Chains A and B, each alone.
Chain A
Amino acid sequence: MAELTVARRYRLDPEAVRARLRRRRTLDLVRKGGRTLITFALGFLFLMPFIWMFATSLKIDPEVYRVPPTWLPRVVRWENYSEAMTYEPFGLYFVNTLKYGLSATVGAVLSSALCAYGFSRVQWKGRDTVFWVVLSTMMIPGQVRMIPLFLIFKRIGWLDTYLPLVIPSYLGSAYFIFMMRQFFMTIPTELSDAARIDGCSELGIFFRIILPLSRSALVVVGLFRFMDAWNDYMGPLIYLRDIDKYTVAMGLQHLRQYGQAASPEQYWPHLMAAASVVTVPIVIMYFFTQRTFVEGIALTGVKG
């Protein structure tokens, strides 16, 4: 072993060296075990709400109100799920939310890529000043724009539709433009230059060269926008009135406000079941796209 050759060269006792190495390795292992323990403890603490949510969703009446609370339901009641999903038309809510999410996602991906191209792959005078303006709009609190926007949409008759929530995605969002711009800037300019020399138009370069190379960044934008739509509460709260148009987020809140009348004893299990069902699609989506998520967040925060 290398350590023993070194030991012999410097005239150290090889046994002592071996013992020191062994002690060092066990100490490292103990430290690693300690950190793992802490991580497990904290991780369990963080997971507790999810476990509790799922456990409660399967309980039956008396056990829900047992003191001290139990972790595993003694009797598992799967009907809580079917009941919760039918008290409110959650099937309809899911379809609504999916339509909202998909249309907003398409808009966000297209418009942010197009605008980001203009801010990164075309050299034009004043470009960076305008980009600074784009960035500064991110600092305006939503509340300042909220009221006039609501009034505009009311005047043009877009209330109680999804248009106020979806159309803005097609007109560029500073956050996503920023993200795509940072990514586009990492693509070598030689590629664009070569295409231009060959006579390709800017739009051609955009569609045929830059977009195909940006698949991962585009997926990030799409994912984030879809997730925002799924989890969005304030937007639908302001613009939607008709209960048939509700998203899952609003449906869940509606169940919380009116579910007690329908079934007082199973109220909490029903709520937890509905909450689980609303959360699960996002979690599944996340598990399949983990790496992209993490890269996406790092893209904006660290490189920006």
Chain B
Amino acid sequence: MSSEARRELRKILQGLFFISPWIIGFQGFTIYPLVASAFYSFTRYDVLRPPKFVGFDNYGEILFRDPVFRQSLGNTIYFVFIGVPAAFLTAWLLANLLNTEVWGRSAWRTMFFLPSITPIVATVMVWMWIYNTQYGLINGWLIAQGIKVIPFLSSVKLSKPSLIIVQCWAQGSAIVLFLAALQDVPRRVYEAAIIDGASAFKRFWHITIPMCTPVILFVLLTGLIETFQSFSLPWLLTSGGPNNSTELYSVYLFRNAFAFFKMGYASALAWILFIIISLFSLAIFRSSARWVYYGGE
């Protein structure tokens, strides 16, 4: 072997040595589970008895004969396509506000970040109490005024929006990301625009937004992926109710796996979710070529 090739090999071995923890983890916690869950999705497996091969039965039942699947998918799509833009707008507008000159700015930045680091169980508890129909913060006041109570968590129509509100409340990390991006926009560009007579709104629309589109894409994409998998919030706050109106996809999946012990069915559900998320992510990524501006640093 030439000394050139020997050096290449040595470098490869060195590289592999350093990433060896990841390689072990990758095989055990990624490759094997991926293959195994694909396998399980073609079986009926209740953990007590060995898995029984059933071909595409699980998929057939999910797609054509399971009303809860359809409901949970619908709920999740609602949650994603209304919740993610709502959360994005909240974070974006707040970040822009916090980027201007305001008294106590750094203190406020801290405050807006706090909800996102609060343990989810605590968050759920507080909001459950806030939304309470008899003594809650909002309804208690409404009752005293003689106005009709708002059934946040017990109405089929309001349950998902109520969840979305909680999610918008906890957008701290998106706010931080947007702030970083906003501060990266070179002041010279704004100054040039001001000299040319651009109004504040025009500057916002034609400079601020385009220059931040890379981070906006990142937030939207990760928001989409995370929200599709959203579990803890609906599970803890409403556990899928009322009437399955907040039975999101991940909740239904979890239930099938750990309450009904239908591991094969749940695995099939997981793979369908994977495909759906991938399709939507790809669509957003493809569309991004049209609206994302990579100005380059």
Task: Tell me if B144 is interfacial: C-beta within 8 Å of chain A.
Answer: yes
Q: Give every chain A residue within 8 A of B71 (Cβ-Cβ).
A: none
Among B108, B113, B119, the residue within 8 A (CB) of A249 is: B119
Q: Is the interface of A mostly helix, strand, loop or mixed?
A: helix
Tell me whether A301 and B253 are in contact (CB under 8 A).
Answer: no
Tell me whether B119 and A151 are in contact (CB under 8 A).
Answer: no
Q: Give every chain B residue within 8 A of A287 (Cβ-Cβ).
A: 110
Q: Give every chain B residue within 8 A of A49 (Cβ-Cβ).
A: 115, 123, 126-127, 130, 169
Task: Tell me if A258 is interfacial: C-beta within 8 Å of chain B.
Answer: no
A-B residue pair count with CB separations less than 8 angstroms:
273
Which of under 10, 10 to 19, 20 to 34, or 35 or more describes the interface residues of A? 35 or more
Q: Mark each residue of chain B from 189 to 232: 1 if its CB lies under 8 Å from any CB of chain A, else 0.
A: 00000000000000000000000000100110000010011011
Q: Nearest Cβ in chain A — how far from B11, in angstroms?
A: 4
Q: Give every chain A residue within 8 A of B267 (Cβ-Cβ).
A: 144, 147-148
Q: Nearest Cβ in chain A — how far from B285, in angstroms?
A: 11
Task: Tell me if A243 is interfacial: C-beta within 8 Å of chain B.
Answer: no
Q: Give every chain B residue within 8 A of A32 (Cβ-Cβ).
A: 100-103
Tell me whether A286 and B117 are in contact (CB under 8 A).
Answer: yes
Q: Nearest Cβ in chain B — how far from A73, in angstroms?
A: 14
User: How long is the Cα–Cα vector from A67 to B114 in the complex, in angstroms?
Assistant: 29
Q: Give every chain A residue within 8 A of B26 (Cβ-Cβ).
A: 133-134, 137, 172
Q: Nearest Cβ in chain A — how far from B157, in angstroms?
A: 23
User: How long is the Cα–Cα vector from A176 to B100 in the complex, in angstroms?
Assistant: 32
Task: Tell me if A126 is interfacial: C-beta within 8 Å of chain B.
Answer: yes
User: How long is the Cα–Cα vector from A40 to B30 in the complex, in angstroms?
Assistant: 46
Tell me whether A147 and B180 are in contact (CB under 8 A).
Answer: no
Chain B contact residue count (CB 8 A cutoff): 94
Tell me whether B177 and A127 are in contact (CB under 8 A).
Answer: no
Which B residues, 132 to 146, have Cβ-Cβ distances below 8 Å to chain A? Answer: 134-137, 140-141, 143-145
Q: Give every chain A residue within 8 A of B127 (Cβ-Cβ).
A: 49
User: How long is the Cα–Cα vector from A275 to B16 in the complex, in angstroms?
Assistant: 45
Tell me whether B144 and A118 are in contact (CB under 8 A).
Answer: no
Q: Nearest Cβ in chain A — how far from B121, in angstroms?
A: 5
Among B24, B25, B94, B141, the residue within 8 A (CB) of A68 is: B141
Q: Give every chain B residue within 8 A of A53 (Cβ-Cβ).
A: 122, 125-126, 129
Q: Give every chain B residue within 8 A of A36 (Cβ-Cβ).
A: 102-104
Tell me whether B236 and A137 are in contact (CB under 8 A).
Answer: no
Question: Which segment, of B52-60, B81-89, B268-276, B288-296, faces chain A?
Answer: B268-276
Tell me whether A282 and B115 are in contact (CB under 8 A).
Answer: no
Q: Nearest Cβ in chain A — how far from B257, in angstroms?
A: 5
Q: Give every chain B residue within 8 A of A189 (Cβ-Cβ).
A: none
Tell me whether A148 and B111 are in contact (CB under 8 A).
Answer: no
Q: Nearest Cβ in chain A — how far from B204, in angstroms?
A: 14
Q: Which residue of chain B is the closest to A71 with respect to CB atoms?
A: B137
Tell me whether A145 and B33 are in contact (CB under 8 A).
Answer: yes
Q: Give every chain A residue within 8 A of B105 (Cβ-Cβ).
A: 39
Q: Give every chain B residue within 8 A of A144 (Cβ-Cβ).
A: 33-34, 37, 267, 270-271, 273-274
Q: Give every chain A residue within 8 A of B179 (Cβ-Cβ).
A: 294
Tell me whether A290 and B180 are in contact (CB under 8 A).
Answer: no
Task: Tell me if B12 is interfacial: C-beta within 8 Å of chain A.
Answer: yes
Which B residues, 169 to 197, have Cβ-Cβ distances below 8 Å to chain A? Answer: 169, 173, 176-177, 179-181, 184
User: How long is the Cα–Cα vector from A27 to B226 in the complex, in angstroms?
Assistant: 43
Q: Mark each residue of chain B from 238 to 249: 1 if its CB lies under 8 Å from any CB of chain A, else 0.
A: 000000000000
Tell me whether A141 and B274 are in contact (CB under 8 A).
Answer: yes
Among A68, A142, A170, A278, the residue within 8 A (CB) of B119 is: A278
Q: Give every chain A residue within 8 A of B98 (Cβ-Cβ).
A: 39
Task: Tell me if A132 is interfacial: C-beta within 8 Å of chain B.
Answer: no
Q: Nearest Cβ in chain B — how far from A163, in angstroms?
A: 13
Tell me whether A302 and B121 are in contact (CB under 8 A).
Answer: no
Task: Tell me if A213 is interfacial: C-beta within 8 Å of chain B.
Answer: no
Q: Nearest Cβ in chain A — how far from B264, in angstroms?
A: 9
Complex A-B: 26 CB contacts under 8 Å: A36-B102, A39-B97, A39-B105, A50-B114, A65-B134, A69-B136, A122-B15, A139-B281, A140-B30, A141-B277, A144-B270, A145-B34, A147-B37, A147-B267, A147-B270, A151-B36, A152-B33, A171-B22, A256-B121, A256-B125, A275-B125, A282-B119, A286-B114, A293-B113, A294-B176, A301-B215
Instruction: A125-B12, A152-B32 given; name 11 further pairs at CB < 8 Å.
Output: A32-B101, A118-B18, A134-B26, A137-B30, A139-B281, A147-B266, A149-B29, A168-B29, A171-B25, A272-B126, A294-B180
The 5 A-B pairs of least Cβ separation, nearest first, read A118-B18, A171-B25, A172-B22, A124-B15, A68-B144
Chain A residues proximal to chain B, CB less than 8 Å: 32, 35-36, 38-40, 42-43, 46-50, 52-53, 56, 64-69, 111, 114-115, 117-119, 122-127, 130, 133-134, 137, 139-152, 154, 168, 170-172, 177, 202, 206, 227, 230-231, 233-234, 238, 248-250, 252-253, 256, 268, 271-272, 275-276, 278-279, 282-283, 286-287, 290, 293-294, 297-298, 301-302, 304
